[in-house]
Amino acid sequence: MAEAAGFDIEVMIGPVLDAGARTLAYRDAGVATEIKADESPVTAADRAAEAILLAALARLAPGIPVVAEEEASAGRVPEVDARFFLVDPLDGTREYVRGGDDFTVNVALVERGAPIAGIVYAPARGRLWCGDVARGVAWRAHLHDGVLGERVALKVRSCRGVPVAVASKSHCTPATEAWLKASGCAERVSVGSSLKFALIAGGEADVYPRPGPTMEWDTAAGDAVLRAAGGHTLCLDGHPLTYAKPRFFNPGFVASGGHPSLPLRPFLTADTRPTDESE
């Protein structure tokens, strides 16, 4: 069992699978899309999946604050201390709306600014990843007829040759291209959502540069799986990415396995550098 500081993250596998099933049911029925104040899309599936996860956490981990994307968008953000959950019920909503498979359900436990356990589930792919950083245990499994199959241990690979980069389908920028060139990344895998972290954790890729802003609930679960598999995620200046920042805002980062990462900040221009009090 993947146990992190007294909380067994695996008790959330069932609710995560339920939330994923709900997203598929909404998609099959045809789901309407709204645009939030930050111009990102949201659907009834986001809200329904989040409700499942919040109810489960309230039952299984009472007293631990939960910061969830749609709750935060509605202005309902609890006070957090050293320990709290980050929940993204449907990461990759744009991919979801256009009928793609690269969307995920994400739950992470954060302790003293670092993700210590996380689950990433890709419902349309039937794949789930789980990681416990303290124990250094990370695994993935396929879902068959509602049942998780054999667990496969995850470990980042040692990158001795040309690194393979995993990049966003919708957020490639000149800064990303410049960083990839300077890092010698000639091969690239394009995938959406937190699946980018999962590919590195499983040794299918080496680096994921993201100079643009994200929110902490976008990254925490995948980051936890990656760290548990031996990888790391660094902020713009090359220090470990931390959590519980103001507004739960990530200015930029590089996630990597065994590949030494160049800092991203030198590749940002004045007009593309994120501006936020948390930078």
Is 270 exposed, middle or buried, given 0-12, 13-18 or 19+ CB atoms closer than 10 A?
exposed
Q: DSSP code of 278?
A: T
Instruction: State the Cα–Cα distance between residues 240 and 249, nearest whole angstrom.
Output: 15
Phi, psi of 66 (to 5 degrees): -125, 120
Q: Answer yes or no: is 28 a known binding residue.
A: no
Q: Answer yes or no: is 88 a known binding residue.
A: yes
On whether the CB atoms of residues 264 and 273 are closer than 8 A, the answer is no
Phi, psi of 250 (to 5 degrees): -105, 115
Q: For residue 253, how many other CB atoms are within 10 A of its CB?
A: 24
Q: Answer yes or no: is 272 a known binding residue.
A: no
> How is residue 74 written in tokens?
């509605």
Pick the closest to residue 49 from 121, 138, 110 (CA basis): 121
Q: Answer yes or no: is 92 a known binding residue.
A: yes
Helices (H), the chain: 13-29, 44-60, 69-73, 93-97, 174-182, 195-201, 216-228
Give the residue carrying structure tokens 């936890």: 224
Q: CA dihedral in degrees (269, 227, 86, 11; nearest 10)?
A: 160
Q: Answer yes or no: is 91 a known binding residue.
A: yes
Backbone dihedral region of 214: left (phi > 0), alpha (psi from -120 to 50 degrees) or beta? beta
What residues are designated binding site?
A: 69, 88, 90-93, 218
What residues are designated binding site for Mg(2+)?
A: 69, 88, 90-91, 218
What residues are designated binding site for substrate?
A: 69, 90-93, 218
